[in-house]
Structure 1
Amino acid sequence: MVKFYQHTSSYEHAWDNVTYAFWLRYPNPFASHVLGCDVIDRSVDPETGILRTTRLILKKGVLPRWGRNLIKNPDAYIIEESEVDPRTHTMVTRTRNLNHARVMQVEETQTFSLHPENPKWTQVKTEARIVSELRWGLTGRIEAFGINKFVDNSARARKGMKHILERLRQNAATAGAAPAPEC
């Protein structure tokens, strides 16, 4: 079995500012579970101008009581790969956990683009796939836990982005300048 999640949201902020905030989103009060974030690789394609980045993120995990015998250390290493295309105003991020993948693999794709109804805003489409290869009748329970945690964490992530965007807006108002450079 596989669980899927899809959600579309928007920020009343320009695409340049939202993509800038994405890189600054840790730390924030809604992401206390994020222990670290490191850039592994970053490059710009000289022909297309596309920025490609790979980051490693360490998150503090939380297990239900029934899952504590399956995993001794709930912390998760996440690989995040992203492409920012300044010409099309599109940023696509793909994340997946590197450890505990047999118990539960979480793959997320987010697409940041200009809002179709208001180009001064940004639309974000989030898609996730959660699958467990564990048997013993636990697959459904693990995947249900995973999708519920993902929904909760996605809502917190949106709150965190709004927090960072508001701080950027406040800083720009104080400085009297645009909050983000052109990508």
Structure 2
Amino acid sequence: MVKFYQHTFSFEHAWDNVTYAFWLRYPNPFASHVIGCDVIDRHVDPDTGVLRTTRLIHKQGVMPRWGRHLIKNADAYIVEESEVDPKTQTMVTRTKNLNHVRVMQVEETLTFTVHPENPKWTQVKTEARIVSEMRWGLTGRVENFGITKFMDNSVRARKGMAHILERLRHNAALAGTPVAAAATTGAPLDC
């Protein structure tokens, strides 16, 4: 059995600003479970101009009481691979957990594009696949927990991005520059 999740959301911010905020989203008050984030590889494809990044994210997981005997350490390590194409104004990120994969594998794809009806906004499509290899009748229970937790975390992730976008807007206003200009000043693209 596999659980799927799909959701589309719009930020009332330009694509440049939303994709910039994505790189700055940790830390934020809605992601206290994120312990660290490291860039493993980052390069621009010389032929296409696409920025490709691989990051390792360390998160502190939460286990329900019934699942605590399944996993000794709830820390999770996630690999995130992304491609940013400035020509088509598309960013695609793919994440999946590296540990606890027999208990539950979570694969998420986010696609950031210019909103089709308002070019000043950004549309984000979230797709997730959650699968468990547990036996003894636990598969469905683990997958149901996973999809519920994923939906809750998606709401918190959107709030975290909105928080970072508001900080960018506020900082740009203080500096007297448009947010889009602030996003291209060469600030480091760290977690």
TM-score (norm 2): 0.94
How much identity, in percent, do the aligned residues show?
A: 82
- 1:134-149 aligned at under 5 Å gives the runs 134-149=134-149
For 2:158, what is the secondary structure of its paired residue? helix
Q: CA deviation at 1:71?
A: 0.2
CA shift for structure 1 position 157: 0.2
CA distance in 2, matches of 1:182, 1:6: 34
Query: Cα distance, 1:179 vs. partner?
Result: 2.6
**Structure 2 residues without counterparts, runs of 5 or longer:** 187-191
Structure 1 residues 30-179: aligned runs within 5 Å: 30-177=30-177, 178-179=181-182
SS in 2 for 1:154: helix
CA distance in 2, matches of 1:15, 1:47: 23
CA offsets 1:26-63 (integer angstroms, 9 cap, x no match): 00000000000000000001121100000000000000
Please say if residues 93 and 111 of structure 1, whose CA atoms lie closer than 8 Å, have aligned partners that are also in contact. yes
Secondary structure (helix, strand or coil) at the match of 2:19 reads helix
Give unmatched runs, 5+ long, in structure 1: none
1-structure distance, mates of 2:176, 2:146 = 44
| Structure 1 residue 181 corresponds to structure 2 residue 176 | no
> Aligned pair count?
183
Distance in 2 (alpha carbons) for counterparts of 1:39 and 1:129: 24
TM-superposed CA distance for 1:182, in Å, is 7.8
**Aligned CA-pair RMSD:** 1.0
Residue by residue over 1:111-137, the C-alpha shift from the partner in whole angstroms, topping out at 9 and shown as x without a partner, is: 000000001100000000000011110
Q: Deviations over 1:46-91 (max 9, x none)?
A: 1211000000000000000010000000010000000000000000
1:95-119: CA deviations, max 9, x gaps? 0000000000000000000000001
Structure 1 residue matching 2:96: 3-state secondary structure: strand
Return the TM-score normalized by structure 1. Answer: 0.98
User: Is the CA contact 1:113–1:124 (under 8 Å) kept in the aligned structure 2?
Assistant: yes
Distance across 1 between alignment mates of 2:24 and 2:98: 23
Runs (4 or more) in structure 1 with deviation over 3 Å come to none
Match of 1:16 in 2: 16
